Structure 1
């Protein structure tokens, strides 16, 4: 695990224009987590990347396939990194380190947790502590029936009020065999959406 030091919350604005942004990528428990490696590779050429994954997501992604320069954190690291009073708390340190966060895939379960303010793993603890002056993007991925469930609409409306940006799912043949909306946007689309949305911010990074 990398040694992480607290950084100023306005780091993005005080950083030189040539410096890479710090991007925290996260995956929750959806079959779409098989594309997390591709997502990480999309961002590494542009940004400094750290990754957070839930226990459920590990059923679908191969940790060893992630780019070597990406530091990966799991729920176990949240507990093993803290030894005594005064030590940094991992979810707080990652919140301070990141200029922006992207959760892809965002499962129905993690969406519900975020909308309800629950924080029972490393990922949701980061979101609960997040500074919403910094961008947070999510790319939902779930079965069509789950996507169309009234709870999903309610939860999306709730996170929208927090300022979380949703990258909508797409319609295709899902992993379960059903055809419909709910598949995670392609990693290239997620990357492009994040880059384009942040482009105007680059003008002010040295202010």
Structure 2
């Protein structure tokens, strides 16, 4: 996949006037990935968007709902590397992005990230991530999975990296249970990330010296 010449340039505070923000959206294997197309639409009018989907998320992601200007990556793209000198996709995407958003984040992918595992495109990007750049997660899982002690441990671990949690909400879940664990709505995820980005840039622009 070709990247622009400036794809390796890191995000600079106050640089949003020169180009759109670059947002990397990622979906892992939760039924909430049904909303991934909607999430991409929310961001695509404001930002330049690239999308990453794990193999299990493809059971739920409606690829036809992804906006046509959003470049969509899967694990197969990661393993298309063949020789020294070829670009490494998870590194290129990390360089390209100003912000990464994982929505939905499944219990399985949360555990992988907390344990430092990197066995697919999404987790390789996270393992190679430059944590001077924001990374947001929007978990989605059954209530008992969300309240499981392992979840709290894993969230504490990734919080130490500076990853920002967009908490799940309480509603009737896809499995039929009622409780906390449903992914935040795409519109809330979008507004949270955009507010963070614009607030950070305003603070940077207002610095003296």
**TM-score, normalised to structure 1's length?**
0.94
* Unmatched 5+ stretches in structure 1: none
Does 110-119 or 56-65 show the bigger shift? 56-65
Superposition map of 1:20-99 within 5 A: 20-80=20-80, 82-99=81-98
Instruction: Please list the CA deviations of residues 69-116 of structure 1 after superposition, one character each: whole Å capped at 9, or x if unmatched.
Output: 000000000011x22101110000000000000000000000000000
Please list every run of 5 or more consecutive structure 2 residues that lacks an aligned counterpart in the other structure: none
Compared with structure 1, are the counterparts of its residues 3 and 134 closer, same or farther at alpha carbon in structure 2 (3 Å cutoff)? closer
In 2, Cα distance between the equivalents of 1:192 and 1:78? 30
Q: CA deviation at 1:4?
A: 5.2
Q: CA RMSD in A?
A: 1.8
Quick one: distance in 1 between partners of 2:83 and 2:6? 17
TM, length-normalised to structure 2 = 0.93
Where in structure 2 are the equivalents of 1:85-164 lying within 5 Å? 85-164=84-163
User: How far apart, CA to CA, are the structure 1 residues paired with 2:56 and 2:144?
Assistant: 20
Distance 1:206 1:90 in 2: 35
Bigger Cα displacement from structure 2, 180-189 vs 1-10 = 1-10
Query: Which digits, 9 at most, give the CA deviation of each residue in 1:122-156, with x for residues without a partner?
Result: 00000000000000000000000000000000000
CA distance in 1: counterparts of 2:2 and 2:152, whole angstroms: 38
